[in-house]
């Protein structure tokens, strides 16, 4: 049984609520795949203690961390540190990590690689998100602006669950991001939109380290 642990912290602000809405969508799809078991930590449960116990008990192949971050950590509910260099990053050894969290590709990702993480996919700078500012999940799911930003990031997870290797999953995500950006800049009505700059930022700062041939 291939196992996934998901920590998604729709804590207290709009961007993490959008992340949580998209995470729910992907988790629902993942649960439909035979042989895939998903364990979730949401809201208050997205804390360090519960994450450590869940990873130790379930030994997931894929760990998904969605929330705020820093160069050396990924944060959970109310900004509690979930994973941090030199604290508990060894929990990610032998696993694939997807962190949709600002900056953690800078220091945490290479640190994890040194201590045995198979692949770490994330962002080496701040993740930019533009939305229509919707506050309930149903409206968020039909937010076409948010989809331009979030769909490429979540494409990686679906690709991995479908059996793609990390490098192929990453390429699928980048292609979707490029297509979204191209569709904006080739449309005279949106070519000068500041959204283009934000999409470009995410596209160029998305990264992975580790063995590209790794599969979930």
Partner 1 sequence: MENISQQERDLVLARLEIISPEIHFSSGSGATYSRNEMLDLVRAGDSAGNDFIKMQMEFMRAIKDGRLAGAITI
> CB 70 → partner 1: shortest distance, Å?
9
Among 131, 140, 206, 214, binds partner 1 (CB under 8 A): 131
- In the region spanning residues 52 to 91, those forming contacts with partner 1, defined by CB under 8 A, are 68-69
What value, to the nearest 5°, has the Cα angle with vertex 180 and ends 191 and 148? 105
Report the run of H or E that residue 80 belongs to, with start and end. Answer: none
Look at residues 137, 170, 169, 138 and name the one whose alpha carbon lies nearest to residue 8. Answer: 137
**Pairs from 172-177 (Cβ < 8 Å, separation ≥ 24):** 173/206, 174/203, 174/206, 176/151, 176/152, 177/152, 177/202, 177/203, 177/206
Segment lying near partner 1 (by CB under 8 A), choices 10-18, 87-95, 112-120, 155-163: 10-18
Nearer to partner 1, 57 or 179 (CB): 179
Q: How many residues does the chain have?
A: 216
Longest dimension (CA), the chain: 53
User: Beta strands 69-70 and 119-123: pairing type?
Assistant: unpaired
Among 3, 15, 62, 172, binds partner 1 (CB under 8 A): 15
Nearer to partner 1, 10 or 30 (CB): 10
Q: Is 181 in the site for partner 1 (CB under 8 A)?
A: yes
Q: Is 192 in the site for partner 1 (CB under 8 A)?
A: yes
Q: Is 133 in the site for partner 1 (CB under 8 A)?
A: yes
Among 44, 53, 59, 126, binds partner 1 (CB under 8 A): 126
Contact 210, 166 (CB under 8 A): yes
Look at residues 20, 5, 13 and name the one whose alpha carbon lies nearest to residue 140. Answer: 20
Q: Is 45 in the site for partner 1 (CB under 8 A)?
A: no
Q: Is 49 in the site for partner 1 (CB under 8 A)?
A: no
Binding site for partner 1 (CB under 8 A): 11-16, 18, 68-69, 102-103, 126-133, 145, 175, 178-179, 181-182, 185, 192-198, 200-201, 203-204
């Amino acid at each position: 049984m291939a196992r996934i642990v998901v920590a998604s912290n729709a804590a207290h602000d709009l961007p993490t609520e959008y992340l949580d809405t998209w995470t729910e969508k992907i988790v629902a799809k993942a649960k439909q795949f035979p042989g895939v078991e998903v364990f979730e930590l949401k809201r208050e449960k997205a804390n360090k203690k519960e994450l450590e116990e869940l990873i130790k008990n379930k030994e997931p192949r894929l760990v998904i961390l969605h929330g705020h971050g820093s160069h050396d950590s990924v944060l959970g509910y109310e900004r509690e540190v979930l994973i941090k260099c030199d604290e508990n990053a060894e929990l990610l050894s032998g696993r694939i990590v997807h962190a949709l969290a600002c900056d953690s590709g800078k220091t945490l990702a290479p640190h994890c690689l040194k201590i045995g993480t198979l692949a770490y996919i994330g962002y080496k700078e701040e993740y930019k998100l533009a939305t229509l500012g919707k506050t309930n999940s149903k409206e968020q799911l039909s937010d076409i602006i948010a989809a331009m930003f979030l769909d490429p990031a979540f494409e990686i997870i679906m690709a991995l669950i479908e059996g793609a290797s990390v490098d192929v999953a990453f390429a699928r995500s980048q292609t979707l991001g490029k297509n979204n950006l191209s569709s904006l800049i080739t449309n005279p009505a949106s070519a000068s939109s500041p959204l283009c700059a934000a999409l470009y930022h995410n596209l160029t700062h998305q990264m992975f380290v580790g063995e590209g041939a790794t599969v979930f």
